[in-house]
């Protein structure tokens, strides 16, 4: 059966590498949103915990419930019904507007999501005072504040502008926690690219690593090279082998025509499993360089091979480039139905 292999040693290596940038691996929050970027949230959570990770970030409460046993704290990025939020000491909700602050139930643990120019969502610098007033009035448990960088992977000054705004808001938040006699807050701002850019200047309490923990980096080469290893590989199993005569066609639309007698096999992965579709005109190839023949079907593809198993990819960078997209998209599109198997280096 088609399956995904998850390389525990690669994952551990990436977490330790990122942790070394922060000086302490327990300052690293692992981002497990969207089924752990397609890797399988339930498989990845215990691996992260085994590496000493204490905090995770997820998209919603349904993801949080799947993994909260493995961590001390879980940050939930999007709560679409704040008034119905589950109050639990492990669950922290990102709160991105004054309106939402009026809705979360009393005692609920929240992090203020601060808008530092990304203009997607978040509380503005000018609204912080008002936010604290609502928090105190409504007896919410404010535990942290964070922001998100929109260009940490680019050669632009915007990163520094955002960082400066966040540094200023941190000071404001510190004054306000003292004024209202609230416990000190945990601050975090850096995503993968911003973590990789650290040069002894890490000044937050935590950082949030998504894509780099899975082994990918989108920083241009000007920033240097980084020691990351892809965690996921996709494998397909042979369905059957066919012997073609010159002129025989393969698949929908007959877009592949054998130019000689050849032996091919079909394998059990297709675009229905979340793989980007090979359209028969501009196809790419598998890890071993076997070109996909013709149009990919929903549940299978054909290549010139008779192997029992084929590695479709163990590094999605090539496919991302081919489809003019980013590694994040290739990974998160993978079907949650694909079976996942964790591999450990055999100890000699």
Ligand X SMILES: *Cc1c(COP(=O)(O)O)cnc(C)c1O
Binding residues for ligand X, rule: CB under 6 A, are: 31, 33, 77, 148, 191-192, 208-212
For residue 148, the minimal CB distance to ligand X (Å) is 4
State the Cα–Cα distance between residues 156 and 100, nearest whole angstrom: 32
Cβ closest to ligand X, residue 15 vs residue 209: 209
Helix (H) or strand (E) holding 172: helix 158-179
Cβ closest to ligand X, residue 31 vs residue 310: 31
Supply 113's token pair: 């999501």
Residue nearest to ligand X (CB): 210
Query: CB under 8 Å to 224, separation ≥6 — which residues?
Result: none
**What CA–CA distances, in Å, run from 65 to 60, 71, 90, 206?**
9, 11, 10, 22
For residue 31, the minimal CB distance to ligand X (Å) is 4
Query: CB under 8 Å to 49, separation ≥6 — which residues?
Result: 70, 71
For residue 219, the minimal CB distance to ligand X (Å) is 10
Cβ closest to ligand X, residue 21 vs residue 208: 208
Supply 195's token pair: 């973590």
The residues pairing with 131 across neighbouring beta strands, listed in sequence order, are none
For residue 307, the minimal CB distance to ligand X (Å) is 33
Cβ closest to ligand X, residue 216 vs residue 256: 216
Place of tokens 């551990």: 12
Residues catalogued as catalytic: 33, 252
């Amino acid at each position: 059966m088609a399956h995904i292999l998850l390389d525990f040693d690669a994952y551990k290596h990436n977490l330790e590498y990122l942790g070394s940038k922060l000086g302490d691996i327990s300052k690293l929050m692992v981002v497990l949103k969207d089924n752990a970027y397609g890797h399988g949230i339930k498989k990845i959570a215990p691996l992260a915990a085994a590496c000493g990770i204490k905090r995770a970030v997820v998209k919603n409460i349904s993801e949080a419930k799947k993994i909260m046993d493995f961590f001390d704290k879980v940050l939930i990025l999007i709560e679409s019904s704040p008034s119905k939020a589950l109050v639990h000491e492990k669950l922290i909700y990102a709160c991105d507007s004054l309106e939402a602050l009026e809705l979360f139930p009393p005692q609920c643990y929240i992090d203020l999501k601060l808008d530092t120019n990304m203009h997607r969502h978040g509380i503005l610098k000018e609204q912080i005072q008002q936010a604290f007033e609502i928090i105190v009035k409504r007896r919410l448990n404010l535990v942290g504040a964070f922001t998100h960088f929109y260009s940490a992977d680019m050669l632009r000054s915007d990163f520094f502008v955002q960082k400066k705004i966040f540094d200023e808001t941190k000071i404001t938040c510190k004054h306000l926690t003292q004024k209202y006699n609230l416990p000190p807050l945990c601050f975090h701002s850096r995503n993968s690219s911003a973590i990789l850019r650290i040069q002894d200047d890490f000044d937050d309490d935590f950082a949030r690593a998504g894509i780099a923990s899975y082994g990918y980096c989108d920083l241009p080469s000007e920033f240097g090279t980084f020691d990351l290893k892809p965690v996921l590989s996709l494998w397909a199993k042979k369905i059957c082998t066919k012997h073609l005569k010159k002129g025989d066609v393969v698949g929908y639309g007959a877009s592949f025509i054998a130019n000689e007698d050849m032996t091919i096999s079909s394998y059990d992965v297709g675009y229905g499993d979340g793989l980007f579709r090979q359209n028969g005109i501009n196809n790419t190839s598998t890890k071993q360089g076997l070109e996909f023949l013709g149009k990919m079907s929903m549940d299978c593809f054909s290549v010139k091979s008779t192997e029992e198993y084929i590695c479709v990819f163990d590094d999605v960078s090539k496919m991302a480039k081919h489809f003019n997209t980013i590694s994040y998209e290739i990974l998160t599109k993978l079907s949650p139905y694909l079976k996942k198997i964790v591999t450990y280096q055999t100890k000699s």
